[in-house]
Structure 1
Amino acid sequence: MRAFETEITQTGGALVGPWRQPRQMLQAQTYDAHASIHDDATAQKLGFKGGTIEGPTHFSQFAPLGERLWGRAWFETGCLSAHYRSVCYEGEEVQAILSKPLPATRQCQIQMVKRDGTEVLRGTASVGDSPVATALEARLGELKPLTDPVILRDVKVAQTGKRQLVRMAFDQNMGDLYPFSLRQKLAVITESSPYYSGADNPWGKPIIPMEMLSVLFQYRSKDDPLPVKGPAVGLFADQEIRLLKGPLFEGEEYEVEREVVALSGSRRTESAWVKTRVFDKSGTMVATMLLNAATLKESYAPYEEEYRRLYEAGR
């Protein structure tokens, strides 16, 4: 059975997927007892047109391209490493583009664009141990350290959380952060596959799509949260999901462990870069996720007051 029926176009040195309209499924998302950037009213207060589509939703459109290029290896050792460049709203059409790999590497450049040419994300796709740094590995090496933190002032690099048991079954609601089930996602996913819904695949059981691995890995993150000041609104600015011994399976239990690997900032945000390591029941590490969770300074009401108290009083 074929993994995907997606129509793929080859133009020059790239594989190009079809135009798709991703669905926004996080309207009811809450964290820290307040609404998120995926809620229309909250997003509009911060200058967005409405609730934004979560970044990893876009990862599904790259799956058929990766599978076309690398076959089974894509599901077992595939990696998407992306810097989110602009937000996407429900109803907008987007297209995934994957360049052919450079000689002697197993890595490609990736890009997603809107109809008007706006770039939604850019980064790399790869399989196995590519000799070239991924997009986010390179980006980590160029970061300027966070100075004068307010929202993240109690968060430290190398801070590690407790190991947590997670699983994702077809009809399991994934909680306040992700108020929907895997079955509900599969009903509207941009690129459907029989590999996701049944056992007729090389591994003999349903596999979890890469975009839903983000949901699985974050599922219990609020049970052991970082000491971030709030309430404040955050967004995903960079994200890398790497399979080491994939795929991961519906209904199976895994353990996740999170570590802060970097802190950075911009004019509008303070960012915690968190590495999630994922283990199967034998203790083997099967996947990792690197996530830049950026918090909007303007969404934290006492930001200016606390900044002055912390950093301007003695200057």
Structure 2
Amino acid sequence: MTANAFETEITETAETLIGPWRKPRQMLQAQTYDAHASIHDDATAQKLGFKGGTIEGPTHFSQFAPLGARLWGQAWFESGCLSAHYRSVCYEGEEVQAILSKPLPGTSQCQVQMVKRDGTEVLRGTASIGDAAVATALETRLGELKPLADPVILRDVKVAQTSKRQTVRMAFDQNMGDLYPFSLRQKLAVITESSPYYSGADNASSNPWRKPIIPMEMLSVLFQYRSKEDPLPARGPAVGLFADQEIRLMKGPLFVDEEYEVEREVVALSGSRRTESAWVKTRVFDKAGTVVATMLLNMATLKDSYAPYENEYRQLYGAGR
């Protein structure tokens, strides 16, 4: 007999679905890339002006899963999409709440946001299923971007650069490497919203697909798993963070211990006063070569974390920024 996807307590009004307050766990203290610590390490984060190691953005996606499942049922797991602009960082111990504004009748897209107890907005964006008739939050943002001017860190990165196809898989006890130094089983022990749909083979009959599925937040881990084997030609060492992220299921869900192929394409370059950003679209293929999911990720690199930034800027452009 199929079990309920979630037992999460949801507050429902005429206009919204609201999840409970949760304290997501920070599991990336030991993360390294380019042989150095990341923004999830307390010391590195504090040098860059943060209070401590930050919680990775897609961790918050789990809190929206019960809301999507309540609104759309099984379709959420098969063709759900979360498209989010990260507005502020979250630290372990802080409470956050997921809020979904119900879609208008006849539509399949709605607004989402996450807030802290003091009202600080952690993220905002859209949730949808299927082929929504309107642009997602990040599709809209991409259309409004100004091209990156005077790049330093990303000066060798070009739009349309595409990676080689890579095979990826996520088993329950597989350590996901330097970028994600933990296993799916370890994540499921602390995930904010547990589900029998994520369970092992002994509970496989508890979900409609008869085998355990990968939570949406862990799809980000799966898709990035081997990315450093074919990296972008960005200058470093430098510290980056996720500024925008969209995960879209097209023929989902994706399953534990099943093999997929991924390829990544740079679809845009943008910047701000503090960052240079590469927007990368990951396409995910099943064994038959069908695209089953995509991810759009804005990895924003902090200019101040790249030690020679000012000197190289002057060499390239003849004056200080």
TM-score with structure 2 length normalisation?
A: 0.97
Aligned residue for 2:226? 220
Distance in 2 of aligned mates of 1:292 and 1:103: 32
Are positions 1:312 and 2:314 aligned together? no
Distance in 1 of aligned mates of 2:210 and 2:54: 35
Give the aligned residue type for 2:311: E
User: Deviation at 1:3?
Assistant: 0.4
Aligned residue for 2:274? 268
User: Deviation at 1:12?
Assistant: 3.6
User: Deviation at 1:234?
Assistant: 0.1
Other structure's SS at 1:141 match: helix
Q: 1:88-137 CA distances to partner (integer Å, 9 max, x unpaired)?
A: 00000000000001233100100000000000000000000110100000
Unaligned runs of 5+ in 2: none
Distance in 2 of aligned mates of 1:209 and 1:256: 18
User: Deviation at 1:53?
Assistant: 0.0
How many residues in Structure 1 have an aligned counterpart in Structure 2?
A: 315
Give the aligned residue type for 1:223: E
Distance in 1 of aligned mates of 2:13 and 2:46: 38
Are positions 1:280 and 2:286 aligned together? yes
Runs of 4+ aligned residues of structure 1 deviating over 6 Å after TM superposition are none
Distance in 1 of aligned mates of 2:104 and 2:276: 35
User: Deviation at 1:247?
Assistant: 0.1
Distance in 1 of aligned mates of 2:168 and 2:307: 33
Are positions 1:6 and 2:8 aligned together? yes
Of the candidates 188, 203, 210, which is equivalent to residue 204 of structure 1?
210
Distance in 2 of aligned mates of 1:177 and 1:59: 18
Paired residues of 1:105 and 1:132 also in contact (CA < 8 A): no
Identity over aligned pairs, percent: 88
User: Deviation at 1:312?
Assistant: 1.1
The residue correspondences of 1:18-29 to structure 2 (distance < 5 A) are 18-29=20-31
Distance in 1 of aligned mates of 2:228 and 2:107: 38
Of the candidates 103, 117, 124, which is equivalent to residue 122 of structure 1?
124
Paired residues of 1:146 and 1:263 also in contact (CA < 8 A): yes
Q: 1:232-291 CA distances to partner (integer Å, 9 max, x unpaired)?
A: 000000000000000000000000000000000000000000000000011110000000
Q: 1:138-167 CA distances to partner (integer Å, 9 max, x unpaired)?
A: 000000000000000000000000000000
Are positions 1:162 and 2:164 aligned together? yes
Please say which of residues 231-240 and 5-14 is displaced more in the overlay.
5-14
Distance in 2 of aligned mates of 1:27 and 1:12: 41
